[in-house]
Structure 1
Amino acid sequence: MKAIEKIVEIPIYWDDLKSLSLDEKALLALASYAASESNTISKLYLFSTHKMTGDEIVDSAISIQIMVLLRYWSAKLFEFFESISEISNSRGTKDDNVIRLAKESFDAFSILEGLRGYEIARAIRHEATNHYSFKAAKKNIGHVSDRANCKLYLHNKDGNSWYPFGEEVMFSGRLNRAGASLRTKEEKNQLLKDWLDWNLSATRWANKAYELIATELVLDRLPDRNARQKLLWLEPELVGEIEGRKTPIFLRNGVGR
């Protein structure tokens, strides 16, 4: 049986954007790109398996998969914020309208800088996501647990192989550095929760920034353009419940192989 999803489509065409300046079009494209990426990565994170099994090997693979997504999601949000920050300071543009919209978006982000989770999101982005840092690796070594998993897990498909020592040093070690004053497991788990909550708040900010920019640059200039609802008839495997089937940890060619 097909699954039904309702989508609201607002028809915008290239000719509708021709009245925009080059810098306005660029800002609209940047905001569209960032909001779409943030929404997509958050969806992939939610559809990943988070429940641990008690098996060291399987749990190691699960942890790496979800943490890669969490880090990437966080880093992309920072990239968007830094781009907006530069534009708001007139770097790369002299377009007053673009600078104004960037400043409004930047000011809205400033609230997020005061939230718990901001500092760890920023630190992980700089040293364990967008950049590989030998210097950071050396700093992290002193914060790695004596029980760190240093094993190698190999498979005949590269996508199924993983090496947790890197995770223990580059991510867990950096996390421990950031939370060096945290003594209990509960406190460290709260640090991770704060980070996730910050990502969710930052994603809402990215969408609001896009809405502001798209509304002022496009929608307000097309007052007669009507939104229309579209019904999508989808194969069941294209629609999932948050509590339903999760993204697999291991890859196979086919069933039973």
Structure 2
Amino acid sequence: MHLYELSIPKADIEKLDETEWAFIATLAFAMDEISVFQKLLVHAKAQKPEAEELRIAHAIQENTITRALCAKIFEAVKLFDQYQRLADRNGLSDVRNKLVEFSESFDELKADPIYSLAKDIRDHATNHYLPSETKKNLEHVSDKAITKAFLHRNIGNSFYPLGEEFVFLGRIGRHYAEEYDRPHTMEDVRKWVEWALAASKVLTHFFTDYLVWVQRERFPEWALKPTKPYLEPELYGELGETPLKLFFEASRLKKPSG
């Protein structure tokens, strides 16, 4: 496993403005979370099952990961905007100029028509469970909606597409009815997934470039050294080629106590 290790002494951290370093550290935290969900999504898309019922479970898994990723993306983009305003307010011209280099990429993400869809999904079908919003979706749920539940004796193997239809797809249907006066299509869902992946790439490129800039401009003595830790073969996969598991055998799951 080839990595480049950037050592950041705490003594140097303390030389920076506290607010500036707090933003850098918070962005680092956000990027770790985004990277995890980005990898999960890429591998969730790698392979679909043949059986129609199980393709439903696959779609739920992919959509759930995408919703979580989008929520993280929105927070990171908001953080970027706040950091720009902070740099302006505090007279950090070098920081501001560096951030401006990426402003166009962030503006393009927000100008994409999918952005407003992603925002509606983030607000009403991610993290919060809102029956009041679900009621608004009812008239936008397709007559062909899969209002079923599939139960399995193992923990985590059951899935309930009726919830996905009313909360998630119903919200997408409401969005397109309100914004475009048309029903949504699966192509709209696909574009939402692709937007999430594109946005995560923009954020990853930005933060990597920004950290290297901080190292070169502020603290050239920081060590950026190659390192090659051993990674067990079973923990390595080809990006987009190794599918994320969908179900698990009972032997891999602990039974609930009691």
TM-score, scaled to structure 2: 0.82
Q: Post-superposition shift, 1:36?
A: 2.0
Cα-Cα RMSD: 3.0
- Aligned equivalent of 1:254: 251
Rate the CA distance shift 1:150–1:68 in 2: closer, same or farther, 3 A. same
Find 1:204's aligned residue among 201, 206, 223.
Answer: 201
Q: Secondary structure at the match of 2:3?
A: strand
Residues 3, 227 of structure 2: 8 Å contact kept: yes
Unaligned runs of 5+ in 2: 253-258
Query: How many corresponding residue pairs?
Result: 249
Q: Does 1:97 align with 2:88?
A: no
- Aligned equivalent of 2:18: 22
Mapped to 1, the partners of 2:45 and 2:195 lie a distance apart of 20
5 Å-filtered alignment, 1:19-98, equals: 19-49=15-45, 51-89=47-85, 95-97=90-92
Residues 137, 170 of structure 1: 8 Å contact kept: yes
Q: Post-superposition shift, 1:171?
A: 0.7
Mapped to 1, the partners of 2:214 and 2:20 lie a distance apart of 7
- Aligned equivalent of 1:144: 141
Q: Secondary structure at the match of 1:228?
A: strand
Mapped to 2, the partners of 1:162 and 1:141 lie a distance apart of 21
Mapped to 2, the partners of 1:51 and 1:253 lie a distance apart of 22
Cα distance per residue 1:205-232 (max 9 Å; x no partner):
3224424543454442221334222123
Find 2:150's aligned residue among 139, 148, 153.
Answer: 153
Cα distance per residue 1:24-59 (max 9 Å; x no partner):
121111111122221221111111155443523311
Q: Post-superposition shift, 1:72?
A: 0.8
Cα distance per residue 1:62-109 (max 9 Å; x no partner):
11111100111111100112233345445xx96443984796365641
Mapped to 1, the partners of 2:200 and 2:114 lie a distance apart of 14
- Aligned equivalent of 1:221: 218
Unaligned runs of 5+ in 1: none
Displaced runs of 4+ in structure 1, greater than 6 A? none
TM-score, scaled to structure 1: 0.83
Rate the CA distance shift 1:193–1:58 in 2: closer, same or farther, 3 A. closer
Mapped to 2, the partners of 1:68 and 1:78 lie a distance apart of 16
Mapped to 2, the partners of 1:35 and 1:243 lie a distance apart of 20
Residues 38, 76 of structure 1: 8 Å contact kept: yes
